């Protein structure tokens, strides 16, 4: 098979069907941009999970004097030195616990001031309104329940709080969004595939004279189909390249420049360029193979020998 | 070259068979006219030879091969040994004469050197030397059919199938085309030609096969058209 002949046939086909080709490119670009976006999103959630779970604490808040009056958990009064010693001793004995740090009322007050120093509420607070607490780092952040059951309701303990629970809500939300993005992507992909099938059919129909003659002179089925399949693949590949462009530009403007989320949200560890770049070959390969397969199956019925 | 063994063909959703129990043989180097009124089964006969259709009953052998047993992917290979010419020429309007002929060689993967050698040769043979760069639209009907014949013949087929090649041409031009087909036949190529053209059949005095309502009603060596109008 002569490459130049096939290439010229592809060019003719793509130009003849310019609007449909354009539609294919756009729909492939959008669906694959969504595809890449959702891949990156789950990467982002995973990085954030790794980053935050490392810092996640289970906090055992101890009763202070004002809790003793207001909180039913602290009905037996503020925590005593003996109770604190017993709690600390038990924490140290637990196998899931990695480290325990003690935060005094003064430290808690200082941290609060640092975080919310400007608010009027902070100004009215005094150190003895703050709670003493044990900040516990777990070997496995999933094992929060063990600590909670052991200390919830114990004398001197006001509450056991797991920060992972709060994060899980966030991650749940992100994951939900991610699944929604995937659903949209799947829909777009179906639209793209149907467009490709249709475009290939129109293309094959508009060239039925040529293909009829090719069949008569004994061109093989593959030789007749190749230009159409490659047309679809070329259009798909252009769409894939556009999708890659989208992702790179999105990463650039959302995270580094433009919106510059990495500066505004410096608590979040964003995915790096490597995460983006490793997705690009996958997207390009998909954009090449998927339309080619769609075209192949579309033609199987249409261009019989 | 061609052998039909009690061939019947019924198209789906049609009660009347297009061909009924047709048996015949065409030998190498023969020139055969296939005559009969419209709907008599001529086109079905040719489509079976080209394996555009398969038989309902019976066997068709072309070039020594049982077409029923020929797998789909081998069909193109079989067709390369056949040349085909039609009433409507079937040329590509946006290609030149030379490109149209070369197309038949390009699609079967002939090298550019071969194409450059054989295309002018075959165009000379059909009497179109010097018109290589014209487009089909600039040619007369007879010239267009010559291009089609050149395309059918450029790969030197053993068998040439012609479906009413003179159907769109005036009598004088038709005679020219017939002379050309006769010349091709003399090179050893078997020619099977379906036609309505009484004058041509009567003049050429070749073998005549007549179909009527799908049946073979006459197979006559050196026959005439003999069809009553």
CB pairs under 8 A between A and B: 57
Question: A203 and A23 in contact (C-beta within 8 Å)?
Answer: no
| pLDDT reported for residue B42 | 93
Based on C-alpha coordinates, what's the Rg of chain A?
Answer: 31
Cβ contacts of A305 on chain B, cutoff 8 Å: 72-73, 75-76
Range B117-135 average pLDDT = 93
Q: Residue B49's pLDDT is what?
A: 95
Provide DSSP, B139-208: S-HHHHHHHHHHHHHTT--SEEEEESTTTTS-HHHHHHHHHHHHHHHHTT-EEEEE---HHHHHHH--EE
Q: Say whether pLDDT at A266 is over 70.
A: no
How many other β-carbons are positioned within 10 Å of the β-carbon of residue B197? 21
User: Average pLDDT in the A116-139 region?
Assistant: 78
Q: Who has greater pLDDT, A122 or B35?
A: B35
Whether B84 and chain A come into contact, CB under 8 Å, resolves to yes
Q: Which of A74-88, A212-226, A257-271 has the lowest mean pLDDT?
A: A257-271
Q: Could you say which of A214, A216, A305 has the minimum Cβ distance to residue B84?
A: A216
φ and ψ of A68, to 5 deg: -55, -30
pLDDT tens digit sequence for B159-196: 999 999 999 899 999 999 999 999 999 999 999 999 98
Residue A117 Cα distances to A124, A263, A264, B4, angstroms = 11, 22, 19, 101
Q: Kindly report the number of other CB atoms within 10 A of residue A57's CB atom.
A: 20
Instruction: Return the higher-pLDDT residue of A166 and B194.
Output: B194
* Sign of CA pseudo-dihedral A106, A112, A115, A119: negative
pTM for the predicted model, two decimal places: 0.68
Q: Which positions in chain B touch A1 (Cβ < 8 Å)?
A: 109
Find the closest chain B residue to A4 by CA distance: B106
Under 8 Å between Cβ of B206 and B182? no
B90 interaction partners in chain A (CB closer than 8 Å): 209, 212-213, 216
Considering only CB atoms, which chain B residues are within 8 Å of A5?
A: 106
The CA distance from A180 to B84, in Å, is 57
Q: What is the ipTM of this complex?
A: 0.79
Q: B173 burial class (0-12, 13-18, 19+ CB within 10 angstroms)?
A: middle
Q: Which of residues 187-226 of B touch A (CB under 8 A)?
A: none
Mean predicted lDDT score pLDDT of chain A = 81
pLDDT mean across residues, chain B: 91
pLDDT tens-digit readout, B195-211: 988 889 999 999 999 99
A75 or B52, greater pLDDT: B52
Contact A178, A38 (CB under 8 A): yes
**What mean pLDDT is predicted for residues A127-148?**
80
Structure confidence at residue B101 as a pLDDT band (50, 70, 90): very high
Count the neighbouring beta carbons within 10 Å of the beta carbon of residue A145.
12
Q: Of A216, A223, A224, A301, which to mutate for an interface test with B (greatest number of B Cβ within 10 Å)?
A: A216
Strands, sheet with A157-162, edge to edge from the N-terminal-most edge strand: A97-103, A133-138, A58-62, A157-162
Calpha distance B192→B62 (Å, rounded)? 12
Tokens representing A158 are 């006001």
- pLDDT, tens digit (0-9, with 9 covering 90-100), for A214-223: 888 888 888 8
**Secondary structure (3-state) at A217:** coil
- Strands (E) located in B10-123: 19-26, 31-35, 57-62, 65-66, 82-86
Which tokens hold the place of B30?
């023969």
Q: What is the pLDDT at residue A118? A: 66
Strand partners, B209: B34, B219
Q: Residues of B with CB below 8 A from A206's CB?
A: none
Q: How far is CA A112 from CA A66, A68, A163, in A?
A: 18, 21, 17
Residue A291 predicted with pLDDT over 80: yes
Cβ-nearest to B108 among A213, A217, A305: A217
**Interchain contact, B107 vs A2, CB within 8 Å:** no
Closest Cα in chain A, distance from residue B92 (Å): 7
Other Cβ atoms less than 10 A from the Cβ of B119: the count is 22
Map out the domains of chain A with their CATH numbers.
3-52+168-302 (no CATH), 55-162 (3.30.70.3040)
């Amino acid at each position: 098979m002569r490459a130049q002949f096939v290439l010229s046939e592809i060019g003719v086909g793509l130009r003849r069907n310019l609007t449909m080709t354009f539609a294919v490119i756009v729909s492939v670009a959008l669906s694959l941009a969504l595809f890449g976006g959702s891949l990156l999103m789950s990467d982002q959630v995973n990085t954030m999970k790794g980053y935050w779970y490392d810092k996640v604490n289970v906090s055992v808040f101890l009763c202070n004097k004002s809790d003793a009056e207001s909180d039913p958990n602290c009905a037996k009064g503020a925590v005593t030195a003996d109770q604190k010693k017993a709690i600390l001793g038990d924490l140290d004995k637990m196998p899931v616990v990695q480290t325990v740090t003690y935060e005094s009322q003064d430290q808690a007050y200082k941290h609060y001031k640092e975080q919310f120093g400007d608010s009027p509420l902070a100004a009215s607070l005094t150190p003895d309104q703050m709670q003493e607490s044990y900040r516990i780092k777990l070997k496995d952040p999933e094992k929060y329940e063990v600590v909670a059951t052991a200390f919830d309701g114990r004398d001197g303990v006001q509450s056991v709080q797991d920060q992972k629970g709060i994060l899980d809500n966030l991650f749940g939300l992100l994951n939900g969004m991610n699944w929604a993005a995937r659903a949209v992507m799947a829909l777009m992909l179906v639209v793209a595939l149907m467009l490709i099938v249709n475009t290939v059919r129109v293309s094959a129909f508009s060239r039925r004279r040529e293909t009829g003659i090719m069949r008569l002179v004994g061109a093989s089925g593959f030789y007749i189909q190749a230009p159409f399949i490659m047309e679809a693949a070329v259009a798909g590949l252009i769409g894939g390249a556009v999708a890659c462009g989208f992702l790179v530009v999105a990463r650039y403007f959302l995270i580094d420049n433009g919106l510059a989320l990495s500066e505004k949200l410096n608590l979040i560890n964003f995915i790096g360029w490597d995460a983006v770049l490793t997705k690009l070959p996958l997207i390009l390969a998909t954009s090449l193979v998927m339309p080619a397969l769609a075209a192949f199956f579309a033609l199987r019925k249409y261009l019989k020998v | 070259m061609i052998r039909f063994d009690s061939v019947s063909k019924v198209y789906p959703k049609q009660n009347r068979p297009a061909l009924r129990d047709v048996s015949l043989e065409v030998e190498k180097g023969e020139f055969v006219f296939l005559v009969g009124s419209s709907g008599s089964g001529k086109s079905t006969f040719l489509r079976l030879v080209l394996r555009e259709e398969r038989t309902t009953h019976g066997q068709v052998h072309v070039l020594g091969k049982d077409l029923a047993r020929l797998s789909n992917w081998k069909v193109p290979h079989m067709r390369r040994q056949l040349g085909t010419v039609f009433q409507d020429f079937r040329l590509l309007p946006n290609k030149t004469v030379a490109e149209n002929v070369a197309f038949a060689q390009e699609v079967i993967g002939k090298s550019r050197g071969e194409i450059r050698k054989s295309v002018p040769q075959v165009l000379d043979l059909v009497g179109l030397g010097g018109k290589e760069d014209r487009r089909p639209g600039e040619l007369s009907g007879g010239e267009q059919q010559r291009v089609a014949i050149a395309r059918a013949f450029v790969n030197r087929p053993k068998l040439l199938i012609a479906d009413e090649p003179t159907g769109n041409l005036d009598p004088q031009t038709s005679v020219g085309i017939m002379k050309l087909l006769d010349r091709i036949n003399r090179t050893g190529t078997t020619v099977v030609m379906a036609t309505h053209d009484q004058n041509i059949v009567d003049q050429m005095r070749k073998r005549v096969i007549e179909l009527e309502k799908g049946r073979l009603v006459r197979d006559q060596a050196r026959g005439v058209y003999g069809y009553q109008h």
